Amino acid sequence: MLKVWGRVNSINVQKVLWTLDELQVAHERVDAGMAFGIVNEPFYTKMNPNSRVPTIDDDGFVLWESNAIVRYLAAKHAPGTLWPTDLKVRADADRWMDWISNHVSPAIGPVFWALVRTPADKRNPAQIEADAEKTAQQFQILEQSLAGRTYVAGDEFSMGDIVVGVTVYRWYALDVKRPRLANLEAYHARLRERPAFQRHVMLPLT
């Protein structure tokens, strides 16, 4: 059976668990990372020399990097739905996945760490504000693209929405100043209706 290593409060693990739930793929999950340790044990670093979560083992095929895992699972189990078969729609989904990794995560990641995992007296409010502002600027880009679209790559829910969706959830869960972005808010509300999103993403930030 497919095995997943990773703690459920990790945004990158949540992408994988949400994908598996949407696809109804049976799997076994093992807690790993932060307080659970494991990631530095030799058996784990042999699979994932980066000592990060998530990692999967699908019948002997080991893979790490959450976006690569989402793409692999979508291509294996959901061609035509989560994995768009139209080349241009798939490239669009891919683009938004890469945009999250390259432009949004570097801005929102420090805000999350400061507000959720740093004691109040050790926070740098000016830095938090600057990083939140950078995040807001990035989300303006998605806001414009979502005009007249239901999901990031068009009318259908795809793998792109999984990687974007976990980050949008965090943006609205963090206590920061946010501009009103009507399309993004409506998109977030649509995602919140999905039972798998509720189960794996709509959790307290810890």
Ligand X SMILES: N[C@@H](CCC(=O)N[C@@H](CS)C(=O)NCC(=O)O)C(=O)O
Say how many residues touch ligand X, by CB under 6 A.
12
Cα–Cα nearest to 163, from 89, 106, 104, 205: 104
Tell the smallest beta-carbon distance from residue 104 to ligand X (Å): 13
**Using rule CB under 6 A, residue 52 touches ligand X:** yes
Considering only 53, 93, 104, 181, the residue that binds ligand X (CB under 6 A) is 53
Q: How far apart are CA 201 and CA 170, in angstroms?
A: 9
Binding to ligand X by residue 39, rule CB under 6 A?
yes
Q: Which is nearer to ligand X, 95 or 190 (CB)?
A: 95
Q: 55 to 74, contacts with ligand X by CB under 6 A?
A: 65-67
Q: Which residue is nearest to ligand X (CB)?
A: 33
By the rule CB under 6 A, 158 interacts with ligand X: no
Least CB distance to ligand X at residue 166 (A): 10
For 36-48, give one letter per residue: b (16+ CB within 10 A) or e.
Answer: eebbeeeebeeeb
Q: Is 33 in the site for ligand X (CB under 6 A)?
A: yes
What own/partner pairs with CB < 8 Å and gap ≥ 24 does 108-111 have?
108/135, 108/167, 108/170, 108/171, 108/174, 111/135, 111/174, 111/176
Q: Report DSSP letters for 147-167, one per residue.
A: TT-SBTTBSS--HHHHHHHHH
Q: Is 100 among the residues that bind ligand X (CB under 6 A)?
A: no
Smallest distance, ligand X to C-beta of residue 112, A: 10
Q: Which positions lie near ligand X, rule CB under 6 A?
A: 10-12, 33-34, 39, 52-54, 65-67
